[in-house]
């Protein structure tokens, strides 16, 4: 039930984010969502793509250091309090969120949250038990 | 273990070796005095002559020869043979100013070939080995020196020369190559590129690597041996003396045996040039003992090492020198502190375990020297978490600070962005205005 996220190391300078996106585009790989974590010196581009194995191969061949991380995609209602409710559900599990990002796509009243948990399996179990919709790769 | 007949001088008893060296030293001093104006003038100024050599240690009274002398007498000023006896010229790459020209008579070439045969034999090569010679052919001594040595040994030589990495990998695999000669940084490049092409160098018949022409470290050796599946030997030489074949490692991999029946080694103090006893670190100074076309008397190599005089497990009586990890040329001074790239390497290794690709950039900002160490992010250390990379960055800064006693900036850069050279790795980029 975990989603594969690709992470790339990028130097923090103009134009650095274009090249990997262009590579994926040329191969017909769609970027579902992404987030760029940046520091003064460098950035980490995190991507959820339509074909992570092909994407990883392509980027590695182009010389990027690519890291594959298992993240969890969760569906919540796209309304005030949607996220807060979810986080409250999570709280008793004691699972730590390393980082998260959100997006909405093609589902009018739903948003999708991507979580990087320290213990993804425990988190999934807990969310499922609470009736939260944890999405598999194919539904993204 | 079989011994190649050419290797006999490797096992000469010490008293005989010293006697041979003394006789040859006198002869080369006489030849230099008679045929080369620069040597004659300098010996006369000090009242020295070949007869002053009663023991090899008397050589310490003779003046040094430096790279500047070669430039000043460019091109043929240090030749001791008429051109009619010179059968080959080589030249150094000449990164600074004019190239340096070196000359060989037919006998010089024979000596050179013989030391290269002994070098390859020490690495366990023999007839039947297939040697891919990836040193550059041409004016650089590496290509032809290794070529003739391997051929004379009876090995099969592939004169592929440098460059064209993909073809090198194809030949390594398809020709069932058992030994390769190249620079250590180029071999690492080969391993990396081969992996990208889906070729595992470690799984090929290749078993011996003879690496030289640039300083390298034990950590590089460990990486090369583990990832390349070869036993990695260090070969040492320089054009001014002969080319490759001045010294070679044996399977004990504990220092390089100097072919001291042809090249007499001394270690001198970096600052004042005073000869240092065996075991102490300083600059390597070499005197050619048999060279005809271009004798070198006390040539300052700029390479920093020490002589290991203890007996070697392989049985060779030739003295060894510690592998050269640094050159006095490489040293740079920043904010009054002497820094060697090898110190940077030690700090990077301490943090990462293996040596990442790195480069040192020196700049001057508002009159102050600044040093930036650029380090490529490796898959082992890359993380999707910002904190992990910031932690790596902090540990690198800390280790460099600790090793150098200097605050330097560290920049993590993308993989493969530091230029890989086909030849020598360029570690230091000095952008300071003179």
Q: In this structure, are residues B145 and B177 in contact, taking their beta carbons and an 8 Å threshold?
A: no
Tell me the H-state helices in B78-215.
106-122, 141-153, 165-174, 184-196
Domain residues for B377? 332-430
The span from the CA of B108 to the CA of B114, in Å, is: 10
Indicate if B323 and B336 belong to the same structural domain: no
Indicate if B232 and B282 belong to the same structural domain: yes
The string of pLDDT tens digits covering residues A25-55 is 999 999 989 999 988 888 999 999 999 999 9
Q: CB-hemisphere CA count at 13 Å for B299?
A: 22
Size of interface A-B (CB pairs under 8 A): 52
| Weakest mean pLDDT among B118-132, B170-184, B298-312, B417-431 | B417-431
Question: Is pLDDT of B413 > 80?
Answer: yes
Verify whether the Cβ–Cβ distance B377 to A116 is below 8 Å: no
Residue that finishes a domain, picked among A13, A38, A69: A69
Indicate if B284 and B394 belong to the same structural domain: no
Indicate if B79 and B167 belong to the same structural domain: yes
Nearest CA of chain A to the CA of B349: how many Å?
20
Indicate if B379 and B273 belong to the same structural domain: no
Domain residues for A129? 71-139
Which CATH number covers residue A84?
Answer: 3.30.2130.10
Q: To the nearest whole number, what is the mean pLDDT of chain B?
A: 91
Print burial letters for A104-123: b (CB count within 10 Å at least 16), e (below 16): eeeeeeebbbbbbbeebeeb
Extract the tokens encoding B300: 């300052």
Q: Supply the pLDDT for residue A71.
A: 95
Residue that finishes a domain, picked among A43, A69, A95: A69
Q: Choosing among A4, A7, A9, which should be mutated to test the B contact, i.e. which has the most B CBs within 10 A? A: A9
Instruction: Transcribe B232-283 into DSSP letters.
Output: EEEEEEETTTTEEEEEEE-TT-SSEEE-TTTEEEEEE-TTT--EE-TT--EE
Nearest CA of chain B to the CA of A50: how many Å?
19
Closest to B258 (Cα-Cα) out of B284, B219, B232, B279: B284
Question: Is pLDDT of B424 > 70?
Answer: no
Verify whether the Cβ–Cβ distance B386 to A46 is below 8 Å: no
**Using 50, 70 and 90 to split pLDDT, how confident is the model at A139?**
low
**B47 backbone φψ class: left, alpha, beta (φ>0; ψ -120 to 50):** left
Indicate if B315 and B238 belong to the same structural domain: yes
Question: How many Cβ atoms are within 10 Å of A68's Cβ, its own excluded?
Answer: 13
Verify whether the Cβ–Cβ distance A11 to B414 is below 8 Å: yes
Rounded to 10 deg, the angle between the A52-61 and A18-26 helix axes is 120
Measured CA to CA in angstroms, residue B356 lies from A19, A58, B52, B219, B370 at distances of 24, 23, 51, 11, 22
**Using 50, 70 and 90 to split pLDDT, how confident is the model at B370?**
confident
The span from the CA of B232 to the CA of B394, in Å, is: 33
> pLDDT higher for B316 or B326?
B316
Q: In this structure, are residues B284 and B265 in contact, taking their beta carbons and an 8 Å threshold?
A: yes
First-last CA distance in chain B: 55
Question: Is pLDDT of B379 > 80?
Answer: yes
Q: Supply the pLDDT for residue B432.
A: 82
Nearest CA of chain B to the CA of A52: how many Å?
15
Q: Choosing among A17, A42, A56, A99, which should be mutated to test the B contact, i.e. which has the most B CBs within 10 A? A: A42
How many domains does chain B divide into? 2
Indicate if B268 and B394 belong to the same structural domain: no
In the predicted model, what is the mean pLDDT of residues B348-363?
87
How many domains does chain A divide into? 2
Verify whether the Cβ–Cβ distance A67 to B384 is below 8 Å: yes
Partner A contacted by B380 (CB < 8 A): no
The string of pLDDT tens digits covering residues B152-188 is 999 999 999 988 999 999 999 999 999 999 988 889 8
The string of pLDDT tens digits covering residues B119-150 is 999 999 999 999 999 999 999 899 999 999 99
Interface residue ranges in chain A relative to chain B, Cβ cutoff 8 Å:
5, 7, 9-11, 16, 37, 39, 41-42, 44, 46, 61, 63-67, 69, 98-99, 116
Give the total residue count for chain B.
434
Indicate if B339 and B264 belong to the same structural domain: no
Strand partners for B44: none
Nearest CA of chain A to the CA of B370: how many Å?
17
In the predicted model, what is the mean pLDDT of residues A123-138?
88
Residue that finishes a domain, picked among B295, B327, B359: B327
Q: CB-hemisphere CA count at 13 Å for B67?
A: 15
Question: Is pLDDT of B96 > 80?
Answer: no
Q: Of chain B residues 194-213, which have a CB less than 8 A from chain A?
A: 196
Indicate if A80 and A133 belong to the same structural domain: yes
Indicate if A114 and A82 belong to the same structural domain: yes
Question: How many Cβ atoms are within 10 Å of A4's Cβ, its own excluded?
Answer: 17
The string of pLDDT tens digits covering residues B16-71 is 999 999 999 999 999 999 999 999 999 999 999 999 999 999 999 999 999 889 98
Q: Supply the pLDDT for residue B249.
A: 97
The string of pLDDT tens digits covering residues A77-117 is 888 888 899 999 999 989 999 999 988 866 678 889 999 99
> pLDDT higher for B78 or A11?
B78
Q: In this structure, are residues B126 and B78 in contact, taking their beta carbons and an 8 Å threshold?
A: no
Cα B244 from chain centroid?
8
Q: In this structure, are residues B398 and B368 in contact, taking their beta carbons and an 8 Å threshold?
A: no
Partner A contacted by B193 (CB < 8 A): no
Instruction: Read off the DSSP letter of residue B323.
Output: P
Closest to A7 (Cα-Cα) out of A126, A86, A98, A90: A98
Partner A contacted by B393 (CB < 8 A): yes
Instruction: Transcribe A62-129 into DSSP letters.
Output: TT--EEEEEEEEEEEESSTTHHHHHHHHHGGG-PPEEEEEEE--S-TTEEEEEEEESSHHHHHHHHHH
**Using 50, 70 and 90 to split pLDDT, how confident is the model at B340?**
confident
Q: Which residue has the tokens 């090929």?
A: B204
Indicate if B220 and B266 belong to the same structural domain: yes
Strands B368-376 and B409-413: parallel
The string of pLDDT tens digits covering residues B213-269 is 877 888 889 999 999 999 999 999 999 999 999 999 999 999 999 999 999 999 999
Q: Could you tell me which chain A residue has the CA closest to the CA of B198? A: A61
Indicate if B305 and B408 belong to the same structural domain: no
Indicate if A64 and A80 belong to the same structural domain: no
Tell whether omega for the bond before B75 is within 30 degrees of 0, i.e. cis.
yes
- pTM equals 0.70
Indicate if A49 and A93 belong to the same structural domain: no
ipTM over 0.85: no
The span from the CA of B102 to the CA of B118, in Å, is: 22
**Using 50, 70 and 90 to split pLDDT, how confident is the model at B95?**
very low
Which CATH number covers residue B152?
Answer: 3.40.50.12780
- Residue A35, SS3? strand
Rounded to 10 deg, the angle between the B14-35 and B37-45 helix axes is 100
Verify whether the Cβ–Cβ distance A9 to B411 is below 8 Å: no
Q: Is B151 exposed, middle or buried (0-12, 13-18, 19+ CB in 10 A)?
A: middle
CB-closest option in A44, A46, A65 to B379: A65
Q: Supply the pLDDT for residue B404.
A: 86
CB-closest option in B196, B382, B417 to A61: B196
Q: In this structure, are residues B130 and B228 in contact, taking their beta carbons and an 8 Å threshold?
A: no
């Amino acid at each position: 039930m975990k989603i594969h996220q690709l992470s790339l190391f990028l130097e923090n300078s103009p134009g650095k984010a274009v090249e990997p996106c262009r590579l994926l585009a040329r191969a017909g790989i769609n970027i579902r969502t992404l987030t760029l974590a940046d520091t003064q010196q460098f950035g980490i581009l995190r991507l959820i793509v339509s074909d992570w194995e092909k994407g990883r191969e392509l980027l590695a061949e182009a010389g990027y250091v690519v890291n594959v991380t298992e993240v969890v995609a969760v569906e919540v209602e796209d309304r005030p309090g949607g996220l807060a409710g979810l986080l409250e559900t999570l709280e008793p599990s004691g699972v730590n969120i390393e980082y998260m990002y959100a997006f909405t796509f093609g589902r009018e009243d739903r948003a999708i949250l991507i979580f990087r948990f320290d213990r993804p399996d425990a988190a999934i179990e807990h969310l499922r038990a609470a009736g939260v919709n944890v999405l598999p790769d194919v539904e993204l | 273990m079989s011994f190649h007949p050419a290797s006999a001088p490797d096992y000469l008893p010490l008293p005989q070796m010293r006697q041979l060296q003394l006789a040859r030293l006198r002869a080369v001093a006489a030849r230099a005095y008679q045929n080369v104006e620069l040597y004659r003038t300098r010996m006369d100024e000090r009242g020295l002559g070949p007869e002053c050599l009663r023991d090899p240690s008397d050589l310490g009274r003779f003046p040094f020869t430096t790279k500047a002398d070669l430039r000043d007498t460019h091109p043929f000023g240090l030749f001791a043979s008429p051109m009619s006896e010179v059968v080959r010229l080589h030249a150094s790459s000449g990164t600074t100013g004019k190239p340096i020209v070196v000359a060989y008579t037919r006998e010089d070439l024979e000596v050179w070939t013989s030391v290269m045969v002994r070098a390859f034999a020490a690495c366990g090569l023999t007839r039947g080995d297939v040697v891919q010679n990836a040193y550059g052919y041409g004016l650089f001594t590496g290509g032809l020196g290794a070529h003739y040595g391997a051929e004379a040994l009876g090995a099969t030589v592939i004169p592929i020369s440098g460059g064209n990495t993909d073809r090198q990998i194809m030949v390594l695999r398809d020709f069932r190559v058992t030994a390769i000669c190249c620079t250590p940084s180029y071999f690492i490049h080969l391993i990396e590129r081969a992996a990208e092409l889906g070729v595992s160098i470690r799984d090929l018949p290749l078993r011996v690597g003879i690496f030289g022409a640039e300083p390298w470290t034990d950590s590089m050796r460990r990486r090369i041996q583990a990832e390349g599946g070869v036993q990695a030997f260090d070969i040492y030489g320089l054009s001014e003396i002969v080319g490759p074949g001045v010294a070679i490692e044996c399977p004990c991999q504990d220092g390089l045996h100097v072919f001291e029946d042809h090249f007499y080694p001394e270690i001198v103090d970096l600052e004042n040039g005073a000869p240092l006893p065996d075991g102490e670190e300083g600059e390597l100074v070499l005197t050619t003992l048999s060279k005809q076309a271009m004798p070198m008397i006390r040539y300052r190599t700029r390479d920093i090492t020490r002589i290991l005089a203890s007996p070697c497990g392989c049985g060779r009586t030739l003295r060894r020198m510690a592998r050269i990890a640094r050159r006095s040329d490489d040293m740079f001074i920043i904010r009054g502190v002497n820094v060697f790239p090898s110190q940077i390497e030690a700090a990077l290794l301490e943090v990462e375990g293996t040596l990442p690709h790195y480069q040192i950039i020196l700049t001057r900002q508002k009159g102050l020297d600044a040093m930036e160490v650029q380090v490529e992010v490796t898959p082992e250390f890359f993380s999707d978490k910002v904190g992990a990379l910031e932690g790596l960055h902090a540990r690198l800064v800390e280790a460099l600070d600790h090793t150098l006693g200097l605050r330097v900036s560290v920049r993590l850069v993308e993989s493969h962005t530091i230029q890989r050279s086909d030849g020598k790795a360029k570690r230091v980029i000095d952008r300071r205005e003179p």
